[in-house]
Amino acid sequence: MSIEQLPLDSEGVITAVSFAQQAEDVAQDLARQLINPHLGFVLFFCSAKYDLAALSQALEATFGGVSLVGCTTAGEISQEGYGRGCISAIGFDHRYFSIASVLVDEMERFTLYDAQKLVENLVNECRSNAVAPIKDHSFALTLLDGLSSREEVVLGALSAALGSIPHFGGSAGDDNHLTRTHVYYCGQFYNGAAVVVLINTLLDFEVFTTHHLQPSTEKLVITKVDSDSRRVLEFNAEPAALEYARLIGRPVETLDMHTFACYPLAVKISENYYPRSIQQTHEDHSLTFYCAVENGIVLTAMHTTSLLDNVNHIFAGLNQRLGEPLITIGCDCFLRRLEIDIKGGQTDIEQALQAQNVIGFNTYGEQFNGMHINQTFTGVAIGRAKYRAG
């Protein structure tokens, strides 16, 4: 099939949102909005407050043979803007998209060999639908358990196996409770697992990442760490929380997720800064991070700039290259949303996201071409078909 042969009775995707509270009502609500003769795949993002066992049963019963993949969130993004306590979804037309997915149920044991077999199977499945050549027409999406502390293991192997196929994703949340996060695959929610999705299409797309942080001159060196738990015990040979509090000029007892959102840290790789966000502080004045941390890493104190300007800037470039967006699947760090809650401006940000047809969720971490990052807006923008028959 060529761009000129794409069907005229669909644009390729349908979006949906449900604010219903009972699982059966949610499934029926989404079905009314999404089900059509050409529905091939559904991607969804849901609040962790739902009865997940009941929700999985209702979705499976309602959508029948349609493949569904999703995860729990720290906030949802729908066509109506930011949401909480709801479910946002995208339905993909199988004539525009060939989509394959797989579950990784043992993240800590995931190897390069596993990744190579996984990618090979995904590619073969996508080819069976024959929408477009795999090369230059495919991207991968990862949804990972956001509290597993194993994201880097999975992403490192996947990145090597995917090769030139761009990939992005988000870490599942649980409405900021930091207790248990889930991904959904084949009728069941899983903890400690990941889902990998390969999406093949003739439509133009671009995988992207952006953040609104700028470096200061202040540095913190990790001098004592428990890498397995991502727990930094010391910065600059001092208790980590005390040294961080000193750097930002705040009392240590006031450190919380709102503080971490407004006073981020980042690691410099080459000429770029990649945020490394703090998850929580402990009684022994250690700090747990959302990303991997190692002894000797130098973290730079960052300051926030205009989040709205940052979003508008990234989309101005995407629109110039892709044209009018069909859909943008967005993984937006929940710390960015916390910053909006603190500083205001939600309406303007929501309008910017709605203009770009952003559907997605607030994450506990983002993934971009093999890297696990924080406090970013990461995703894929998919353009509309530029040339249509008729």
Each of the 390 residues of the chain gets a pLDDT tens digit; together they read 566 566 666 689 999 999 999 999 999 999 999 999 999 999 999 999 999 999 999 999 999 889 999 999 999 999 999 999 999 999 999 999 999 999 999 888 899 999 999 999 999 999 988 799 999 999 999 999 978 777 888 999 999 999 999 999 999 999 988 889 999 999 999 999 999 999 999 999 999 999 999 999 999 999 999 988 999 999 999 999 999 999 999 999 999 999 999 999 999 988 889 888 899 999 999 999 988 889 999 999 999 999 999 999 999 999 999 998 999 999 999 999 999 999 999 999 999 999 999 999 999 999 999 988 999 999 999 998 765 434
**pTM for the model:** 0.91
Question: What are the residue ranges of helices labelled H in the chain?
Answer: 23-34, 52-63, 112-129, 151-162, 240-248, 257-262, 307-322, 334-343, 346-355
Give the span between the Cα atoms of 331 and 374, in whole angstroms. 10
Q: 161 with 139: CB under 8 angstroms?
A: no
CA distances from 349 to 318, 337, 376 (A): 17, 10, 14
Q: Nearest to residue 89, comparing CAs of 365, 283, 359?
A: 359
Q: 73 with 361: CB under 8 angstroms?
A: yes
Q: 344 with 287: CB under 8 angstroms?
A: no
Q: 326 with 203: CB under 8 angstroms?
A: yes
Q: Give strand pairing partners of 15.
A: 90
Place of tokens 């008729």: 390
Q: Is 342 exposed, middle or buried, given 0-12, 13-18 or 19+ CB atoms closer than 10 A? A: exposed
Rg of the chain taking only CA atoms, in angstroms: 21
- For residue 56, give the amino acid letter: S
